[in-house]
Amino acid sequence: MLETNNITMQFGGLTAVSDFSITVADGEIVGLIGPNGAGKTTAFNVITGVYTPTRGTILFNGKNIAGKQPHRITGTGIARTFQNIRLFHEMTVLENLLVACNLREKPNLFESVLHLPGYIAREKKAREFSLNLLESVGLLNNANDNAVSLPYGKQRRLEIVRALATEPSLLLLDEPAAGMNPQESQELMEFIVGIRDKFKISVLLIEHHMQVVMGICNWLYVLDYGITIAKGAPAEIRKNQKVIDAYLGVD
């Protein structure tokens, strides 16, 4: 589904990511780990169009999307969340999802202004779709709550569900377990696996919480100073000396 080939991202004389190559297959949950400043979020930003790579290709379902605008990339079927939650705080939970639904609609200004039948039908369809999504993830009772009023764990879940509202085939999660306690992290693991199975999508995630990474990922890539130092199954990565040194430091 996703294949990056020798992606390099430079900012002036600084190389944030160097020759970054990964693959994500249908139905996989793939983890991207490494110490702070390793280039993980930069890699996400390149894949999702925030940055245009200095060199390299990004193939999504066989088409090169490197350098495309973020909304164009989302339109191809890639959605993401952010390290810091970025909900629309002045909107309700339901309204956050309705905004995301607009990606798949073809709005007509004339119909919208006059509230013609075509506009009303699209709004009804989007509302029903959003309510069904909220019900499927246990947030239906919060549909009319202000998004910022939700507990932290539910805000994280809402951001993921809003990404799902764009109907992606690949979901990128940037540190979804950040700030969560062990119980919340366990629930998040079950949630991610559940949406992978229910919506038939693939997941690429950045995470420092090793319980989450080792518990749900099929394959791991490890970055350190922008360079891939290891890749393999979680059991292999757990014993890899380079990975241990990168996280713990060496004398």
In tens, the pLDDT along 36-93 reads 999 999 999 999 999 999 999 999 999 999 999 999 999 999 999 998 889 998 999 9
SS3 of residue 197 by DSSP: helix
| Domains of the chain, each with CATH number or no CATH | 2-77+168-248 (3.40.50.300), 86-154 (no CATH)
CA angle 128, 119, 110 (to 5 degrees): 160
Query: How many CB atoms are located within 10 Å of the residue 249 CB?
Result: 8
Over residues 187-215, the pLDDT tens digits come to 999 999 999 999 999 999 999 888 899 99
Contacts of 112 (CB under 8 A, 6+ apart): 119
> Token pair for residue 17?
């990511």
pLDDT digits (tens, 9 = 90+) for 92-124: 999 999 999 887 777 667 676 666 777 788 888
Q: Give me the pLDDT at residue 110, please.
A: 65
Report which of 43, 33, 36 is spatially closest to residue 8, judged by C-alpha positions. 43
**Separation between Cα atoms, residue 101 and residue 122, nearest integer Å:** 10
The CA distances from residue 167 to 4, 172, 215, 228, in Å, are 22, 13, 25, 30
Cα(248)–Cα(245) distance, rounded to whole angstroms?
5
Q: How many CB atoms lie under 10 A from the CB of residue 10?
A: 14
Cross-strand bridge partners of residue 236 = none
Tell me, what DSSP letter sits at residue 1? -
* pLDDT above 70 (res 249): no
Going by the DSSP 8-state scheme, the letter that residue 57 receives in this structure is: E
Q: Which residue has the tokens 């506009």?
A: 119
Computed over every residue of the chain, the mean pLDDT equals 91
Give the residue among 147, 41, 170, 29 at the shortest CA–CA distance from 20: 41
CA–CA distance, 43 with 212 (Å, rounded to integer): 20
SS3 call for 131: helix
- 186 or 110, greater pLDDT: 186
> Hey, what amino acid is at 206?
I
